[in-house]
Structure formats: structure tokens, C-alpha cells
Amino acid sequence: MTSPAELEACAPAGTFVETVTSVTHYTDRLFHFHMTRPSGFRFRSGEFVMIGLMVGDKPVFRAYSIASPSWAEDLEFFSIKVPDGPLTSHLQQIKPGDAVLMRKKPTGTLVNDALVKGRRLYMFSTGTGIAPFASVIRDPETYEKFDELILTHSCREVAELKYGQDLVASVKEDEMLNELFDTSRLRLYNSVTRDPFPFQGRITDLIESGKLFTDLDVPPLDPACDRAMICGSAEMLKDTKSLLEQAGLTEGANNRPAEFVIERAFAG
Ligand code: A2P
């Protein structure tokens, strides 16, 4: 891997060169890393940015949701490992001290600004789609805007749930965060599709059957008070969006806040 000094010399214009500070491998398909945050780099919780490496003499970039909240000192990302993925086949080898490229402009729709105020915020995620919500659930603004936060994370295997479970546990235990907002208003709902687990099935099936709401002991989706952010594969977005629309919720955007927003979980 390249050191930050070596990368500075060949980095494309308009990119930051940052240093990896920690790497955690969760499964053979998922890992998570922290890196330094450039001074002056601003983003809204839930946004994504382009992350890259030099592969040979060419920069290779992919979009990554920033998993840290907008106030954090460092930047945190959650990645899949695609064996022959143009970026992740290399990125999965990074170690503390290595250099990573980051383009300067963050963007995205999974932000508080794109939703109108409501009572309950659902964050529906599958796989690495949980990453933007790791940011949103640590932002005081989310707790100001919504009374109750429900993060759903559905994965193929039980081992893939660990990142989200550790994250929510750390939010609930964090003294500083608890001084800022009441983290008991945050709930995590897990389901698994390819391993035995007490909560089984795709999130779409659990919404459609109503089991999700029964398990959580909340009323069915209601456009008057429920808001949602969705992040997963293209198919998951399409199917979940259609269920929310059937329930009467309207899709919003940064320039047109409404009742739910979607963003594809990135891969490659
Ligand atoms: P399944 O195991 O039935 O494919 P992936 O890692 O492929 O992104 O999948 C993450 C989770 O999303 C898996 O539990 C997978 O279930 C589920 N999933 C895949 N497609 C959809 C969909 N169209 N709607 C809801 N969940 C989906």
C-alpha cells in the first residue's frame, strides 16, 4: 500500500489524501475503517463521498456513505469486499498508516433536510446500506426532528449484523451522546434471510405482513407521522419504496422535502 507522502505526489487534483487509522474485518464480505478527516471538510450526516486508491498509475474511486456523524473528528466507512471489485479488492487490504484518496464534495439524499418533520423515523437498511444511518443516529438534529428512531438492518447472515449491533450499543452507552439526546428513543430491529435467527425474512416481507410493526409494538405506517430513509440494493429500494407509497408516503429530495428518501447502497 502507498504511504500518505507517496500518494500526495501523484494524487489527482481536487482530492484529499487521508491516513487510515483503524480497520476492522467483520466477515469475509464486510469490513469497516476509520481515517483522518481533512480540516475544513464539511458534510451533512447521511451524505456520501467518493473514496479511492491509486491502482497502478490510475485513481479508482467508488461512492461511500460516511458512517461518522457530521461533528466527528475522523471519518468512518463501512465496505463490502468484492473479490475482483475494481476498488474493494484493493481497499480490503488497507492497514493503519496507509493513504486513501477522497474527493472534496460530499452529497446525498439520506439527510434530515430532505424529510419533513414527523413523529417516527424509520431507517430501513440491508447489508452495507446501514452505513449512512450510523451517521444519522449520532446526529442531535435527528433527535430534535423525530421522537422515535427505528433502525432496521436485514442481512443474509447473522455475522453481518454485528456492526450495527455494536454501533447501536455504543451509541446507547456513550455518556456524551446521552447528554445531548435521549438514546433510549433509538431502537434496532434485525432480520436475517439465510441463517436461523429469531427474526427471519426480508424487510419488505416483514412490512407487507405487518410483522415488523407487531414485533415493534407500533401502529402500521401512517403518512401523518411516519418518515423513512431507505438504503440497500437497487431491488430492495424499489420494493421498499413501493410499499411506502402504498401506505401513502411521498418521496422527497433535498430541494423538495417529503415523507421518505432513498439511496442505493454502494458496492464495487
Ligand atoms: P435474500 O437473502 O433473500 O437475498 P445483499 O447482501 O445481497 O445486499 O442482501 C442483503 C439483504 O437484503 C439480504 O437479507 C437479502 O435477502 C435482502 N434483499 C435482497 N433483495 C431484496 C429486496 N428486493 N427487498 C428486500 N430485501 C432484499
User: What is the pLDDT, as a whole number, of residue 267?
Assistant: 59
Centroid of ligand 1 to alpha carbon of 143 (angstroms): 29
> Is 154 near ligand 1, meaning CB less than 6 Å away?
yes
In whole angstroms, how far apart are CA 14 and each of 59, 105, 142, 183? 12, 9, 31, 38
Q: Are residues 173 and 57 in the same domain?
A: no
Whether residue 256 is predicted with pLDDT greater than 90 in this model: the reply is yes
Question: Which residue has cell 411521498?
Answer: 250
Where would I find the H helices in 47-161?
88-91, 131-136, 140-145
Query: Are 125 and 265 in contact, with CB atoms under 8 Å apart?
Result: yes
Cα 238 to Cα 153: distance, rounded to the nearest angstrom: 17
Whether residue 186 is predicted with pLDDT greater than 90 in this model: the reply is yes
Q: Are residues 171 and 255 in the same domain?
A: yes
Q: Are residues 238 and 143 in the same domain?
A: yes
**Ligand 1 nearest atom to the CA of residue 80, by list position:** 6
**Ligand 1 nearest atom to the CA of residue 191, by list position:** 14
Q: Are residues 118 and 97 in the same domain?
A: no
Secondary structure element (H or E) that encloses residue 4, with its range: helix 4-10
> Is 200 near ligand 1, meaning CB less than 6 Å away?
no
Task: Quote the percentage of the chain above a pLDDT of 90.
Answer: 85
> How would residue 265 be classed by pLDDT, with cut points 50, 70 and 90?
confident
Q: Are residues 118 and 87 in the same domain?
A: no
Centroid of ligand 1 to alpha carbon of 189 (angstroms): 15
Question: Which of 200, 209, 233, 264 best tests ligand 1's pocket when mutated (most atoms within 8 Å of CB)?
Answer: 233
The cell numbers describing 77, all together, are 466507512
Secondary structure (3-state) at 243: helix
Q: Are residues 62 and 154 in the same domain?
A: no
The DSSP line for 154-222 is EESSGGGGHHHHHHHHHHHH-HHHHHHS-GGGEEEEEEESSS--SSBS-HHHHHHHSHHHHHHT-PPP-
Q: Are residues 84 and 169 in the same domain?
A: no
**Ligand 1 nearest atom to the CA of residue 160, by list position:** 6
Name the residue with the closest Cα to ligand 1, atom 3. 193
Centroid of ligand 1 to alpha carbon of 102 (angstroms): 29
* 56 located within any domain: yes
Q: Model pTM?
A: 0.94
Q: Are residues 35 and 130 in the same domain?
A: no
Residue ending a domain, among 103, 138, 158, is: 103
What would the pLDDT profile of 225-237 be if each residue is shown by its tens digit? 999 999 999 999 9
Name the residue with the closest Cα to ligand 1, atom 25. 236
Centroid of ligand 1 to alpha carbon of 236 (angstroms): 7
* 116 located within any domain: yes
Name the residue with the closest Cα to ligand 1, atom 19. 236
Whether residue 100 is predicted with pLDDT greater than 60 in this model: the reply is yes
User: What is the pLDDT, as a whole number, of residue 189?
Assistant: 98
User: What is the pLDDT, as a whole number, of residue 6?
Assistant: 76
The number of distinct structural domains making up the chain is 2
Cα 143 to Cα 177: distance, rounded to the nearest angstrom: 11
Residue 166: what residue type?
D
Centroid of ligand 1 to alpha carbon of 149 (angstroms): 22
For residue 46, the 8-state DSSP code is T
Mean pLDDT of 35-47: 96
Centroid of ligand 1 to alpha carbon of 228 (angstroms): 18
> Is 126 near ligand 1, meaning CB less than 6 Å away?
yes
Is residue 256 packed enough to be buried (19+ CB in 10 Å), middle (13-18) or exposed (0-12)? Answer: exposed
Q: Find, among 203, 204, 201, 195, the residue nearest to 159 by Cα.
A: 195
Name the residue with the closest Cα to ligand 1, atom 1. 193
Per the DSSP assignment, residues forming a β-bridge with 17 are: 101
Q: Are residues 82 and 120 in the same domain?
A: no
Q: Are residues 44 and 160 in the same domain?
A: no
Query: Are 45 and 247 in contact, with CB atoms under 8 Å apart?
Result: no
* 190 located within any domain: yes
In whole angstroms, how far apart are CA 193 and each of 79, 201, 216, 262? 20, 5, 19, 22
Mean pLDDT of 77-89: 92
Query: Are 244 and 221 in contact, with CB atoms under 8 Å apart?
Result: yes
Q: What is the CATH number of the domain that holds 215?
A: 3.40.50.80
Q: Are residues 202 and 156 in the same domain?
A: yes
Classify each residue of 215-233 as buried b or exposed e, where b means 16 or more C-beta atoms within 10 Å of its C-beta.
ebebeebebeebbbbbbbe
Mean pLDDT of 174-181: 88
Centroid of ligand 1 to alpha carbon of 202 (angstroms): 6
Secondary structure (3-state) at 116: coil
The cell numbers describing 258, all together, are 417529503
Query: Can you give the residue range of the structural domain that contains 54?
Result: 4-103
